Amino acid sequence: MLRINASSRIGDFIDTSADTARLLTMLGANRKEHRSQTLGEFCAESGIDGSMLLDALLTPQPSPIDQTINWSAEPLSRLIDYIVARHHGFVRRQLLRLQLLIDRVCNTDGNRLFELRAIHEAFARVRIELQEHLVTEEEVLFPLIRGLQHYSDHRGGFMGTVDRPLSQAGQHVDEAGANLSRLRARIADFTSVGSEPGTYQTFLAELSGLEEDLKYHFALENDVLFPRALKLEQELMKV
């Protein structure tokens, strides 16, 4: 198996998958001589955040959404595992890729097209809000829900309530949605053709992919996971 790091050749990255090749091409690795450069050399030459690009290349592409499972009947712990692996993994991957793409466009045309800087700033707010959402769920809310499930199964080890973390997660979702709407408004205002039209169009396509996944992600939480957790907590309080 190929060990990928900052000393790996761009050609090795390009050969791993068509998806990786497309991202690198959109970031400017589109000439034959780039294949012999290391990732570190290419990033230094192109003004790209090498650590971010390496993370983006190393983050695996999640499997397709599985709509055949009845999550209303599955253990809460299994549903949480699925959300973290499939949806949180996808969000992290997309945020990295989107940041790299919009950085590339702005580094090329941002000084003369102020609308691009506004898009860049709007995306930064979306990214921050979604990252906070993931951390709140993984470090606070999901462990509490797992505790509920454990207490329900074994009658021991549960402490705390999910009410406040649920409220915090909901606030992050609302704010992320509002920031996505602001980002889309900025995008609608941008009608110029910059020097990186292919990269910008890839950014828009990747953003649409993120938005579609978030719809299913948030529906799975708001319509299945969170109501089930609240119901379980209320039932346990009666015991």
Split at pLDDT 50, 70, 90, the class of 239 is: low
Residue 209 pLDDT exceeds 90: yes
Mean pLDDT of 31-54: 90
CA distances to 126, 221, 222 from 215, rounded to whole Å, are: 15, 10, 10
The residue whose two tokens read 């090329």 is 108
Q: Which residues of 40-79 are buried (b: 16+ CB within 10 A; e: fewer)?
A: ebbbeebebebebbbebbebeebeeeeeeeebeeeebeeb
User: Is-above-0.85 flag for pTM?
Assistant: yes
Each residue of 122-153: pLDDT tens digit? 999 999 999 999 999 999 999 989 988 877 66
N residues, the chain = 239
- pLDDT over 90 for what percent of the chain? 47
